[in-house]
Amino acid sequence: MTDAAELPVSGTLERGNAWFIKLRWVAAIAVAVAAAMARYLGLFDLPVGPILCVAAGLVVYNAVLFSVARRFAARPVDQDWGSAGAFARLLAPRTFLGLGGESRVASAALFAFAQITLDFCALALLLHFTGGVESPFSAFFAFHIVIASILLSRRATYLQATIGLLLFAGVVLGEFSGLMDHHSLGWVWAPAAYRQWSVAAAYVAVLGVTLYLASYLCSTIAVDLRERVRVNVLLSRQIRSDKRQLETAYEILAKTERSKSEYMRKVAHELRGPLGTIETALKVVLQGMAGALGEPARELIDRARRRAGELAAVTRDLLLLASAREASPDERFWTPVALDALVAEVIEDFRGEAERKGLTLSTGAAAGGVVLGEAVAMRQLVANLVENGIRYTPPGGFVTVQLRPRAGCWELEVQDTGIGISAQDQPKVFDEFYRGANARVHASEGTGLGLSIVRAIAERHGGSIAVESELGHGTRFAVTLPGAEGDRC
Amino acid sequence: MSEGSRILIVDDDKDLVAALRVALESKGLRVTAAHDLSTGLEAAAAQRPDCIILDVMMPNATEGFHFVWRLRQKDEAYFKDVPIIILTAIHERTELRFYPDSGDGTYQAGEYLPVQDFVDKPVDPAVLLERIERVLRLKRPA
């Protein structure tokens, strides 16, 4: 048992009080109706007048409790409850800090305690008017112990059991001693049982055991339940806090990704100028414009120029990748782009290269394919896929570009009969600088950024890319892009 | 090649200018250079070159574009007609629209950049020489 489980959470206590008040209206009516029926059906010889007075008393103090409860609910959570709060803390010393003002919880506990005590008084009166020890209503004391264990601390529940037992004993002893009248129910088995000390003592003892045992059992269960509720409350708070932390972490990650792209862009931009100058200077020398060149010198310079060209290609691709990953797509540059015309243009651009390699480059593009986007980027996307197909397809093979509508979107497919991508390489082909082992063997050129750029461009335009491939047989890339009407894929 | 033609290169990259100078001079062209907007404009006014090679991205971002606008604004006919070839990286994205290549050496007035040609960076000297030859030939029809 933990300290925190001593009391229910503040909301539970207040709801319990309100529920208790509602039940009492029913109880008052039930007492009045039962007394009247018992009397008029001639079952028992009951003093109906006093019993109806008890019912009326129930109604009166319940009305008071009702108005107090409403005022309770209207008070601010952290208001100081003064002496009432101090007394309440005696009854319910340990409360849930942080789940509502401590005073509020303690005062709600005091309120519940007062309600049960008033009910015990009413019950003692009812007991007296229905036969004292003979009355079957003594069992009702146990109901309140159950309620007390739900609403109050273990200590307060035992205190309630003691109050209940004292009231019961008071009635029994009062009648036993003759200080109070005895209203017999007319049970035939023991007309003067209330006058026998052994009967009186036995009833008091049995009720005492019942009340204390009920206090013990119910408190134990209630404390366990409260602990679970408390754990649930803490868990749900933890989940909310974890969610916030995750969101923050995601924001930081996104920001880091953006600054990474920005850094990449700046570095590539700085490298591009000098690399271009190196390439141009080497070409001037190679083209013999700076004077005659010996063969070994020419070969070395040509190698240097090729390597400079590779570096320039990497910086160009890094710039493309960085701009495709920019934080917010700059939709000022977005225009309707007809993919069919774009595919035709790109095919025309690469036809020479395909023929030189002995490949058949063809298209079966459906007419249309209008998407909204950056024309330059879209062209880059198609060109990268076609270039890729040509690069990794051996002579005699085919590279085919298809364009087809698919559920409000357009699917651009580039299929080749090339070297293929192994199953374990397929998930990585879109990673930066990743090139499959067979790709590196087949073609030395290639920056390893082309497919990263394609994916970044597709995602920037709300689309996606998928790959299917069989090693040695070919590869199919399918890019899905939203149609110009703004459909989502 | 139009031997003896005077070419002004306006580019802040002195190493690129050095390489281009070697290439152009090897074909008998006479090369002068300037490295920023104001000295470029001064050199153009003082030397009256037959053709200007211009870098777009100079220290102040789009200085090359301003060079074009300011040169073409001058009243004298020479400044409106002197051929300009821009060196650019094709992947540079810009909001300015370029003059469409009509192929006869003329350009339209208005929002387009009034220049004769563009050569992609990294510059291939053979390509640049071919373009220079072309604009010079168009400038002086036989």
* For residue B122, pLDDT beyond 60: yes
Query: What's the pLDDT score for residue A486?
Result: 60
Cβ <8 Å between A276 and B93 = no
Tally: H helices and E strands in chain B: 5, 5
A290 close contact with B: CB closer than 8 A: yes
pLDDT digits (tens, 9 = 90+) for B52-75: 999 876 556 567 778 888 888 888
**Given B22, B26, B122, which is nearest A276 (Cβ)?**
B122
Pair type for strands B51-55 and B6-10: parallel
Count of A–B CB contacts within 8 Å? 53
Mean pLDDT, residues A283-295? 92
User: How far away is chain B from the Cα of A302, in angstroms, using its nearest Cα?
Assistant: 14
pLDDT digits (tens, 9 = 90+) for B103-115: 555 544 445 677 8
pLDDT digits (tens, 9 = 90+) for A82-92: 555 555 554 44
Kindly report the number of other CB atoms within 10 A of residue A229's CB atom: 14
User: How far away is chain A from the Cα of B21, in angstroms, using its nearest Cα?
Assistant: 10
* For residue A421, pLDDT beyond 80: yes
B123 close contact with A: CB closer than 8 A: yes
Confidence of residue A327 (pLDDT cuts 50, 70, 90): low
Cis, bond preceding A427 (omega within 30 deg of 0): no
Residues of A in contact with B93 (CB under 8 A): 323, 333, 376
Cβ <8 Å between B125 and A316 = no
Share of chain B above pLDDT 70, in %: 76
A333 close contact with B: CB closer than 8 A: yes
Q: State chain B's mean pLDDT as an integer.
A: 80
Longest dimension (CA), chain A: 141
Query: What's the pLDDT score for residue A29?
Result: 93
Q: CA–CA distance from A400 to each of A111, A154, A360, A364, A474 (Å)?
A: 82, 80, 8, 8, 11
Cβ <8 Å between A284 and B93 = no
Contacts of A116 (CB under 8 A, 6+ apart): A144, A147, A148, A152, A160
Instruction: Give the whole-angstrom CA distance, residue A294 versus residue A385.
Output: 40
Q: Helix (H, G, I), strand (E, B), or coil: what is residue A447?
A: coil
B124 close contact with A: CB closer than 8 A: yes
A357 close contact with B: CB closer than 8 A: no
Instruction: Give the whole-angstrom CA distance, residue A160 versus residue B105.
Output: 107
**Given A279, A290, A320, which is nearest B122 (Cβ)?**
A279
Instruction: Give the whole-angstrom CA distance, residue A141 versus residue A212.
Output: 11
**Checking phi first, is residue A228 left (phi over 0); if not, alpha (psi -120 to 50) or beta?**
alpha
Cβ <8 Å between A280 and B13 = no
Mean pLDDT, residues A433-437? 85
User: How far away is chain B from the Cα of A283, in angstroms, using its nearest Cα?
Assistant: 7
Residues of B in contact with A312 (CB under 8 A): 122
Mean pLDDT, residues A271-278? 90
Contacts of A130 (CB under 8 A, 6+ apart): A46, A51, A136, A137, A183, A185
Backbone angles phi, psi at B113, to 5 degrees: -80, 115
Instruction: Give the whole-angstrom CA distance, residue A126 versus residue A171.
Output: 10
Could you tell me which of A208, A125, A198 has the C-alpha nearest to residue A162? A208
Cβ <8 Å between B125 and A273 = no
Instruction: Give the whole-angstrom CA distance, residue A88 versus residue A109.
Output: 7
Lowest mean pLDDT among A77-91, A165-179, A188-202: A77-91
Instruction: Give the whole-angstrom CA distance, residue A215 versus residue A166.
Output: 15
Interaxial angle between packed helices A102-129 and A140-151, expressed in degrees from 0 to 180 and rounded to the nearest 10: 180
Instruction: Give the whole-angstrom CA distance, residue A182 versus residue A47.
Output: 11
End-to-end CA distance of chain B: 14
Q: Which two tokens stand for residue A138?
A: 């003594």
Residues of B in contact with A309 (CB under 8 A): 122
Instruction: Give the whole-angstrom CA distance, residue A190 versus residue A135.
Output: 12
**Given B22, B121, B126, which is nearest A276 (Cβ)?**
B121
Which ipTM value was assigned to this complex? 0.83
**Given A275, A287, A333, which is nearest B125 (Cβ)?**
A287
Q: State chain A's mean pLDDT as an integer.
A: 84
* For residue A76, pLDDT beyond 80: no
Confidence of residue B89 (pLDDT cuts 50, 70, 90): low
pLDDT digits (tens, 9 = 90+) for A59-74: 999 999 998 888 777 7
Cβ <8 Å between A280 and B18 = no
Query: What's the pLDDT score for residue A10?
Result: 57
* For residue A463, pLDDT beyond 80: yes
Instruction: Give the whole-angstrom CA distance, residue A106 versus residue A89.
Output: 5
Cβ <8 Å between B22 and A312 = no
Instruction: Give the whole-angstrom CA distance, residue B128 versus residue A470.
Output: 45
B22 close contact with A: CB closer than 8 A: yes
Confidence of residue B15 (pLDDT cuts 50, 70, 90): very high
Contact A433, A448 (CB under 8 A): yes
Q: Helix (H, G, I), strand (E, B), or coil: what is residue A463?
A: coil
Most confident region among A201-205, A261-265, A392-396 by mean pLDDT: A392-396
Domains contained in chain B, CATH given: 6-139 (3.40.50.2300)
Q: Which two tokens stand for residue A345?
A: 């243009």
Contact A369, A340 (CB under 8 A): yes
